[in-house]
């Protein structure tokens, strides 16, 4: 696990640390995809989440043919962030749907990071390609064969923060992230 | 009067991976304090760039009162700049239907 905090002295070096730890993302779609994923999600955490602590975790299940990588922050959650900025939604699942579709609390020219990375990791490139996002009382799951599902959570299942988890084939075909920019 | 050109090595100033939007802002906050007539941002050694950083960089470049040039950027970084300047539609990933939300609890 790699931890980082809001008051990190070397925020701009977090990706360097992750690249070293996870071999430039060689098992997570290759350097291009890994860098894109980490750059976008970590910037989202610093910009929107009001977190204090976050971590990146990864696990390889080579015998089972897949790997997993997750990023979690203890921030205010996507639905709470939308509430703070006056974005309306009927429930936390709809807030998450807005977030993955690219609704931004700032302006229409933003909100691409989550949208693009979710597409990248659920596209039909690898046999296993799954994406899970949980934030407060909502969750969304999608894989490359699925139209996706939303889940509504209640205490004690509420996640105070946001978790994004990706499962990918092992070994994975390299993904060219630039086509998703 | 000689033209004062200030060259900034992005890798040394920020890092190999340009992820954070706020880093682009901090860069240009310090550029604003320089006495240069022209700024050159050297991307030699920069491995990756986020969409957010790119967008903020290009936004601040447009607002900057002095000329700012970019050199030695990789093809990948150029692709990101192009994507930010020419955004495609956002992907429709998962349709939301309140009736199909699954209740989940441990």
Q: Give the dihedral sign, CA B24/B83/A19/B7.
A: negative
Residues A133, A144, A128: CA angle, nearest 5 degrees: 90
Can you tell me the mean pLDDT for B84-105? 92
- For residue B35, pLDDT over 90 is answered with no
pLDDT for position B86: 95
In a mutational test of the A interface, the residue from B9, B11, B19 whose CB has the highest number of chain A CBs within 10 Å is B19
Q: Residue ranges of chain A with pLDDT lower than 70?
A: none
pTM listed for this prediction: 0.94
Where is pLDDT greater, at B105 or B26? B26
Alpha carbons B106 and A153: distance in angstroms, whole number = 9
Q: If you write DSSP's letter for every residue of A121-163 in order, what string do you get?
A: TTSTTSS-EEEEEEEETEEEEEETT---EEEEE-TTS-EEEEE
Cβ-based contacts of B53 with chain A (< 8 Å): 39, 43
B104 to A152: CB separation less than 8 angstroms, yes or no: yes
Q: Of the candidates A162, A164, A165, A157, which has an alpha carbon nearest to the alpha carbon of residue A74?
A: A162
pLDDT at A8: 84
pLDDT higher than 80, residue B33: yes
User: Between chains, do A140 and B55 touch, taking CB under 8 Å as contact?
Assistant: no
- Between chains, do B98 and A39 touch, taking CB under 8 Å as contact? no
Does the interface ipTM go beyond 0.85? yes
Give the residue-averaged pLDDT of B75-83: 97
pLDDT-derived band at B42 (thresholds 50, 70, 90) equals very high
**Shortest Cα distance, chain A CAs vs residue B2, angstroms:** 35
Q: Is the Cβ–Cβ distance between A37 and A64 less than 8 Å?
A: no
CA distance B23 to chain A (A): 8
pLDDT at A103: 84
Q: Do A42 and B19 touch (CB under 8 A)?
A: yes
Q: Would you state the pLDDT for residue B104? A: 83
| pLDDT score of B106 | 66
The pLDDT of residue A161 is 97
Whether B45 has its CB under 8 Å from any CB of chain A: the answer is no
What is the structure's pLDDT at A146?
87
């Amino acid at each position: 696990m790699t931890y980082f905090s809001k008051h990190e002295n070397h925020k701009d070096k977090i990706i360097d640390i992750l690249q070293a730890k996870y071999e430039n993302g060689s098992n997570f779609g290759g350097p291009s995809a890994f860098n894109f994923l980490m750059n976008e999600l970590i910037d989202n955490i610093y910009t929107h989440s009001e977190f204090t602590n976050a971590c990146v975790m990864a696990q390889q299940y080579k015998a089972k043919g897949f790997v997993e990588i997750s990023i979690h922050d203890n921030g205010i959650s996507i639905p709470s962030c939308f509430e703070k900025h006056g974005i309306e939604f009927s429930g936390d699942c709809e807030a998450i749907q807005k977030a993955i579709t690219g609704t931004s609390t700032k302006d229409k020219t933003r909100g691409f990071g989550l949208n693009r990375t979710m597409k990248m990791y659920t596209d039909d490139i690898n046999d296993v390609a799954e994406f899970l996002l949980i934030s407060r009382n909502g969750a969304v799951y999608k894989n490359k064969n699925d139209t996706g599902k939303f889940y509504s959570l209640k205490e004690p299942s509420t996640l105070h923060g946001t978790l994004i988890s990706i499962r990918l084939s092992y070994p994975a075909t390299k993904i060219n992230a630039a086509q998703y920019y | 009067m000689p033209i004062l050109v200030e060259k900034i090595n992005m890798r040394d100033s920020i890092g190999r991976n340009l992820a954070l939007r706020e880093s682009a802002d901090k860069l240009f906050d310090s550029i604003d304090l320089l006495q240069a007539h022209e700024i050159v941002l050297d991307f030699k050694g920069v491995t990756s760039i986020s969409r957010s950083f790119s967008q903020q960089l290009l936004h601040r470049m447009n607002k900057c009162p002095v000329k700012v040039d970019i050199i030695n950027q990789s093809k990948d970084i150029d692709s990101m700049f192009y994507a930010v300047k020419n955004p495609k539609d956002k992907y429709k990933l998962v349709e939301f239907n309140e009736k199909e939300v699954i209740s989940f609890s441990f």
